[in-house]
């Protein structure tokens, strides 16, 4: 029998095949979905959703074994735990229900989010990377394992990777960061998504050069982003010339920001969280310089000119 608001009863939901089940949940009210997934038949419903995730996913032969453990919560308390294993060319759920654990020594990713958030991920109504930035999803595990697993697991119905930062719209990222505490951004920029965030900002920055930027504007700015694992920092060079911008990462074998012969106008040093806030329009570069959040060595005017040459995405 259908419940008030149109959502089928638990027994009727469990009788549906994966695509039909997801379609019904996609159209249902959040409160009713939460009631079903945390109610008496919630464990069986979560099993059905995990089966749909497994059916939609596939790993190419040769992919290293890893495990993804989803910890689903309600009001901060754990209500369900399920583990999906990527093993060579196969993706499968472990046996044992809420007590299933990955084998000892197997690389593991732990994804902690609300039970409702899990449903919305699988119905394609939420994006894992945005949920992470917003603080509604927590990730733990080796960065390479996180990314490999997130791209192997697929959203049922769409076939899109469960985690694909390159597909995010910059304005959506900017909007989701509204009101997010600095402490959370600091944690994100110290965790397994740091390299992904920095790589995406660097990749997209040339796309946002203002179209009428005068061709005579020429500048080179080195960025040093602190807070990397082990107390280190990430570095890259931004060059603007002839109305276009290029971004070049600096690797240990190319220590450009330590080489006095490199032709640059300024070096800007800041924390990972402040860099993310500047890049998404949540921190004005001039204000950040005046407050000491962006520390400039060299030509300060050229460093600030860079910010005026880029059309930084703003919250919608």
Beta-bridge mates of residue 67: 85, 108
CA 249/CA 255 separation, integer angstroms: 10
Mean pLDDT of the 287-297 span: 95
Looking at per-residue pLDDT, the higher value among 165 and 123 belongs to 123
Mean pLDDT of the 181-193 span: 89
Q: Which CATH architecture has domain 10-168?
A: 2-Layer Sandwich (3.30)
Stated pTM of the model: 0.82
**Cβ burial 79-92 (10 Å sphere, 16+ → b, else e):** bbbbbbbbeeeebe
Q: How many CA atoms lie within 13 A of 64 on its CB side?
A: 11
> What would the pLDDT profile of 7-62 be if each residue is shown by its tens digit?
677 788 888 988 899 999 999 999 999 999 999 999 999 999 999 999 999 766 55
> What would the pLDDT profile of 231-256 be if each residue is shown by its tens digit?
889 999 999 998 889 998 887 655 55
Beta-bridge mates of residue 69: 83, 110
Q: What is the mean pLDDT of the chain?
A: 85
CA 316/CA 178 separation, integer angstroms: 10
Least confident of 3-17, 71-85, 154-168, 171-185: 3-17
User: Are the beta carbons of 307 and 268 closer than 8 angstroms?
Assistant: no
Question: In 3D, which of 237, 234, 168 has the Cα closest to residue 206?
Answer: 237
The segment with the largest mean pLDDT, out of 37-51, 149-163, 255-269, is 37-51
Q: Kindly report the CATH number that applies to the domain delimited by 194-309.
A: 3.30.1050.10
Q: Which residues contact 139 (CB under 8 A, 6 or more apart)?
A: 109, 110, 111, 112, 132, 146, 191, 192, 193
Report residue 223 as tokens: 């960025």
* pLDDT value, residue 301: 93
Give the residue extent of every domain in the chain: 10-168, 194-309
| Residue 179 in this model has a pLDDT that exceeds 60 | yes
Measured from the Cβ of residue 169, the count of other Cβ atoms closer than 10 Å reads 12
* pLDDT value, residue 5: 47
> What would the pLDDT profile of 97-124 be if each residue is shown by its tens digit?
444 454 556 788 899 999 999 999 999 9
CA 67/CA 213 separation, integer angstroms: 48
Q: Which residues contact 25 (CB under 8 A, 6 or more apart)?
A: 13, 33, 119, 123
* pLDDT value, residue 155: 92
**Hey, do 10-168 and 194-309 end up sharing a CATH topology, with the first three levels equal?**
yes
CA 187/CA 193 separation, integer angstroms: 10
> What would the pLDDT profile of 48-96 be if each residue is shown by its tens digit?
999 999 999 976 655 678 899 999 999 999 999 999 998 876 888 986 4
List helix spans (H) across the chain.
Answer: 10-14, 18-27, 30-37, 42-56, 115-122, 128-134, 143-152, 170-176, 182-188, 194-204, 272-279, 285-291, 300-309
Per DSSP, the three-state class of 174 is helix
Question: In 3D, which of 33, 107, 100 has the Cα closest to residue 70?
Answer: 100
CA 209/CA 244 separation, integer angstroms: 7
């Amino acid at each position: 029998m259908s419940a008030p608001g149109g959502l089928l009863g638990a027994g009727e939901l469990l009788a549906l095949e994966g695509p039909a089940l997801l379609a019904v949940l996609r159209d249902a009210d959040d409160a009713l979905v939460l009631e079903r997934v945390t109610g008496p038949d919630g464990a069986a419903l979560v099993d059905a959703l995990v089966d749909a995730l497994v059916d939609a996913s596939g790993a190419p032969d040769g992919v290293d074994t890893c495990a993804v453990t989803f910890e689903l919560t309600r009001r901060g308390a754990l209500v369900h735990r399920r583990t999906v294993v990527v093993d060579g060319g196969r993706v499968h759920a472990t046996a044992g229900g809420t007590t299933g654990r990955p084998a000892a020594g197997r690389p593991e990713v732990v994804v902690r989010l609300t039970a409702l958030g899990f449903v919305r991920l699988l119905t394609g109504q939420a994006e894992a990377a945005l949920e992470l930035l917003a603080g509604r999803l927590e990730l733990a595990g080796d960065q390479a394992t996180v990314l490999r697993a997130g791209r192997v697991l697929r959203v049922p119905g769409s076939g899109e990777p469960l985690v694909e930062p390159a597909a995010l719209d910059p304005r959506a990222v900017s909007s989701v960061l509204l009101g997010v505490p600095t402490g959370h951004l600091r944690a994100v920029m110290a965790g397994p998504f740091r390299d992904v965030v920095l790589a995406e900002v660097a990749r997209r920055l040339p796309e946002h050069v203002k179209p009428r930027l005068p061709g005579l504007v020429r500048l080179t700015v080195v960025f040093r982003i602190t807070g990397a694992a082990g107390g280190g920092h990430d570095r890259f060079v931004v060059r603007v010339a002839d109305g276009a911008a290029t971004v070049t990462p600096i690797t240990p074998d190319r220590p450009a920001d330590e080489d006095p012969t490199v032709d640059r106008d300024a070096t800007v040093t800041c924390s990972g969280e402040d860099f993310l806030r500047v890049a998404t329009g949540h921190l004005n570069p001039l204000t950040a310089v005046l407050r000491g959040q962006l520390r400039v060595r060299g030509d300060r005017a050229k460093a600030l000119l860079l910010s005026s040459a880029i059309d930084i995405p703003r919250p919608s």
